[in-house]
Amino acid sequence: MFNRISEVISAASSRISAPQSSTVPYTEVGLPPEASSAHRFGFTNSGHKNNLRLSSSLQDFSVYHRLDPEEADLDLGIDRYARKTHPLQRENAGSSFSKEKALPGATPFMRRKCVRMFMVLLSLILFAFLVYMVSMYIFSNWYQGGSEFYVVLDCGSTGTRVYVYQASVNRRRDGSLPIFLNPLTEGLSRKAGLQSGRAYDRMETEPGFDKLVHNISGLKAAIKPLLQWAQTQIPEHAHKTTSIFIYATAGVRRLPSADSKWLLDNAWSILKKNSPFLCRREWVKIISGTEEAYYGWTALNYHTGMLGVIPDKATFGALDLGGSSLQVTFEGEKNMRNQSNLNLRIGAVNHHLSAYSLSGYGLNDAFDKSVAKLLSKLSNIKNADLVNGKIEIKHPCLHSGYKEQYICSRCASSQPESASPVIGGKHSGKGGKSGTAVLLTGAPNWEECSALAKAAVNLSEWSNLSPGMDCDLQPCALPDSLPRPYGQFYAMSGFFVVYRFFNLTSEAALDDVLEKGRDFCEKTWEIARKSVPPQPFIEQYCFRSPYIVLLLREGLHITDKQIIVGSGSITWTLGVALLEAGKTFSTRLGLYSYKILQMKINPIILIAVFLISLILLVCALSCVNNWMPRFFRRSYLPLFRHNSASTTSVLNIPSPFRFQSWSPISSGDGRVKMPLSPTVANSPQRPFGLGHGLGGSSIELMESSLYPSTSGRTLFLNFDVALQVYSGFLGKLPN
């Protein structure tokens, strides 16, 4: 069937490419003219007379030249001739065919050559186009691709932790982001929950980088265990292609540049020596508060499924409370113009964000500010006492019976220069923290504690930039240059830590936090300490309770209804991995073109284009087929057998060709006679090869038989067979 189609197509194309027939009448050599009419065969064996004279032309040796398979277009000749209906046309067509062969180099021939070259070019272009379309479609619809791994180290102010993510292409057609990110956390040493006392379920070393300045062994101890754990999470073969990022946040951000540079340079050399992962120097850095903010926002909205969704849904704002800073990120109005503005394009959606980081508003820094505030109220401070850490500060947020030394980072700035030389810059306190050593004692008083927390929230208390701000009138944690938060917010990290410490669910109200905090503050330190599992900073939760409530209500003017307290598992590091994976997969998959293929081109159109191209390709190829080098062609007909039936007779013609007559298709004995296939005279019988016959040294028609057929007609099984048949017809001479 395919063969018939290609014949039709090639006939059509040969008609297109056929030059005008020559007018020179063709006379047959070797046979009287009238006889020649006797062996004109119907192409379709329809009983019509015809002037197919390919064999004659082969006899006409004077003008015959070796048929080059590259140039022989027997089928075209046959087709062209056979499809002529008018005898005169047939006459001309046959003569024109042989004439053309007889006069190589004639203009029509050159024209045909150009047409052939054009068809070859067309078929190559079509083929390339088809390959591209099919591969793009497969690639963007089924290519799962390998998954990529990403390692992100979060160098926070209270600790350094490692997160491993596995990214893969997300095939879901639900409009969600085409990237799937899976955090790998198995084998973590401790489980979050009451028994562990830890709010976060993560692999972490303490203290944070900012306490390890000029402490190379401390820095190695902070990084190497995390690298070793990350290697256990990722298959070894993927280590080389796994990117690792070391990003430091507020704790390092507030250090003097010489100190932060020391930390980053040494972290980089430790990483190079101890990591099998793909790392670059520019991937070991301090990220800005704004970057930390939108990474956190991206992570949150990826978790909630709002990221890059079409049509875009309202996203959640993110409140990420750390130990040193607070990040605030929310989707703002498009026309907002201020320093915190940034546009984030995720997939096909543009998000206009407001993102900023409030340094000194983290849980630990806020408590530090409360100590500095109390120190500043003390009078008659002796320098000697200060140097020796003997200054005692009674703190209303500490339990009765509590007495501990504390290193106050902000105390130096709250004292006149002479009164409080900064102790430190070296490792003067717990965990290498630099600052002023003081003695903290508990003097619990809920009201005073709340007032102190409010002072920690009020920016005008800590900076001479903002004149006294009334927290009842405006969000007093924000300078005028920053936009007021609005919309729904997820309160993460430190907010989650405080809720968990007081055994509150995320549905609890802010007033519940105040009630729990007050109860806790009233306990003596002995009881309070034992009322919770061992963990760091237990003494600070009496302060943290009123602090987070006042920070939200008065520092940011966010109401209870706008708040959902999120889990501790959402961290900004997921945002880093997501955006890095987005870069990798979008280049690899041409996600943009993926989007186009998926969304812009209707699959039906795509299929139609594909089918049309396929048909054009077949058409081009069938034309090209004539010019295929002979070694591409079938080398022989299957099952050709020499038939010695007496009915055949040999046509004596003065040429190296010996034609044997050929009885009609059905010989009456039910056996189908296959068409004669030309072979060389006196040559050993060999299977007819189109390549042999055409372009071979010479050809001879032999008779053979194939399978008995009821209809007496042989259905052409393929193009080559058809061609043989025609050439057989050509050579057939009636007895």
Ligand X SMILES: Nc1nc2c(ncn2[C@@H]2O[C@H](COP(=O)(O)OP(=O)(O)OP(=O)(O)O)[C@@H](O)[C@H]2O)c(=O)[nH]1
Question: What is the rounded CA–CA span in Å between residue 117 and residue 17?
Answer: 11
Could you tell which of Ca ion, ligand X, none binds residue 77, using a CB distance below 5 to 8 A set by kind?
none
Indicate whether 317 belongs to the interface with ligand X (CB under 6 A). no
Is 326 labelled a binding residue? yes
d(CA 390, CA 370): 18
42 contacts 50 by C-beta, under 8 angstroms: yes
Instruction: Work out whether 364 is an interface residue with ligand X (CB under 6 A).
Output: yes
CB of 401 to ligand X, least distance (A): 21
The nearer residue to ligand X, 55 or 249, going by C-beta atoms, is 249
Q: Taking CB under 6 A as the criterion, which residues in 147-166 touch ligand X?
A: 156-159
Regarding 573 and contact with ligand X (CB under 6 A), the answer is no
252 and 213 Cβ atoms separated by less than 8 Å: no
Least distance to ligand X, CB of residue 413, Å: 19
Tokens representing residue 398 in the block: 């500490």
* Secondary structure, 3-state, 644-700: CCCCCCEECCCCCECEECCCCCECCCCCEEEEEECCECCCCCCCCCHHHHCCCCCCC
The pair phi, psi for residue 495, each rounded to 5°, is -65, -45
Q: State the nearest-atom distance from the C-beta of 292 to ligand X, in Å.
A: 7
Q: Which stretch binds ligand X (CB under 6 A): 299-307, 359-367, 398-406, 414-422?
A: 359-367
Piece of 74-82, 227-235, 248-256, 693-701 that binds ligand X (CB under 6 A) = 248-256
Maximum Cα interatomic distance, the chain, rounded to a whole number of Å: 141
Is 321 or 391 the residue whose CB approaches ligand X more closely?
321
Give the contacts of 11 (CB within 8 A, at least 6 positions apart): 76, 79, 80, 83
Q: Given candidates 208, 396, 475, 485, which one binds ligand X under the rule CB under 6 A?
A: 208
Residue 327 is assigned to a ligand binding site? yes
- In angstroms, the CA 563 to CA 488 distance is 6
Query: Roughly how many angstroms between the first and final C-alpha of the chain, as a whole number?
Result: 33
Measured from each CB, the residue nearest to Ca ion is: 322
Compute the distance between CA of residue 404 and CA of residue 441 in angstroms, rounded to an integer.
7
| DSSP characters over 295-345 | HHHHHHHHHTT-TT-SSPPPPPEEEEE-SSEEEEEEE--TT--STTEEEEE
- 589 to 628: interface string for ligand X, x by CB under 6 A: ----------------------------------------
Given candidates 41, 200, 283, 543, which one binds ligand X under the rule CB under 6 A?
200
Q: Which of 28, 100, 291, 292 is catalytic?
A: 292
Q: Is 289 in the site for ligand X (CB under 6 A)?
A: no
Q: How far is the CB of 198 from ligand X (least distance, A)?
A: 4
Contact residue for ligand X among 93, 152, 346, 363 (CB under 6 A): 363
105 sits in the region (left: phi over 0; alpha: psi -120 to 50; else beta) called: left
Number of Cβ within 10 Å of residue 110's Cβ equals: 12
Kindly tell me which residue out of 296, 347, 362, 517 binds ligand X, with binding defined by CB under 6 A: 362
Determine if 251 is a binding residue for ligand X (CB under 6 A). Answer: yes
The smaller minimum CB distance to Ca ion, of residues 364 and 727, is found at 364
Q: Extract the tokens encoding 330.
A: 């929310």
The answer to the question of whether 323 is labelled as a binding residue is: yes
Q: Which does 11 bind (CB under 5 to 8 A by kind): ligand X, Ca ion, none?
A: none
Taking alpha carbons only, the member of 543, 126, 572 closest to residue 374 is 543
Residue 251 binding: pick among ligand X, Ca ion, none (C-beta 5-8 Å cut-off by kind): ligand X
Following CA atoms 713, 716, 721, 723 in sequence, which dihedral angle do they give, to the nearest 10 degrees? Answer: 90
- Is residue 34 among the annotated active site residues? no
Q: Give the shortest CB-494-to-ligand X separation in angstroms.
A: 5
User: Would you say 526 and 490 are in contact if contact means Cβ atoms under 8 Å apart?
Assistant: no
Give dist(CA 60, CA 636) in Å, integer: 26
Among 129, 143, 537, 610, binds ligand X (CB under 6 A): 537
360 lies in the binding site for ligand X (CB under 6 A): no
Q: Which stretch binds ligand X (CB under 6 A): 245-253, 647-655, 660-668, 679-687?
A: 245-253
Nearer to ligand X, 317 or 362 (CB): 362
The interface partner of residue 691, options being Ca ion, ligand X, none and the CB cut-off 5 to 8 Å by kind, is none
Among residues 56, 98, 324, 677, the one that binds ligand X under rule CB under 6 A = 324
Residues in contact with Ca ion by CB under 5 A are 156, 322
CB-side neighbour CA atoms (13 Å) of 55: 33
| Closer CB to ligand X, 323 or 347, in the complex | 323
CB closer to ligand X, 495 vs 627: 495
Residue 54 or residue 152: which is nearer to Ca ion going by CB?
Answer: 152
DSSP per-residue string spanning 538-595? GGGHHHHHHHHHHIIIIIS---GGGEEE--TT--HHHHHHHHHHHHHHHHHHTHHHHH
CA distance 369 to 143: 55
Q: Which of 152, 497, 701, 722 binds ligand X (CB under 6 A)?
A: 497
Task: Give the residue with the Cβ less far from ligand X, 215 or 705.
Answer: 215
Torsion, Cα 599 604 606 612, to 10 degrees, reads: -170
Report d(CA 653, CA 296) in Å as an integer. Answer: 93
Does 432 help bind ligand X (rule: CB under 6 A)?
no
Angstrom distance (rounded) from CA 549 to CA 453 = 9
* d(C-alpha 533, C-alpha 350), whole Å: 45
Q: Tell me: is residue 474 an annotated ligand-binding position.
A: no
CB of 184 to ligand X, least distance (A): 19
Nearer to ligand X, 199 or 223 (CB): 199
- The answer to whether 294 contacts ligand X (rule: CB under 6 A) is no
**Which residues are known to be catalytic?**
292
Residue ranges in contact with ligand X by CB under 6 A: 156-159, 198-200, 204, 208, 249-251, 322-325, 362-364, 493-494, 497, 536-537
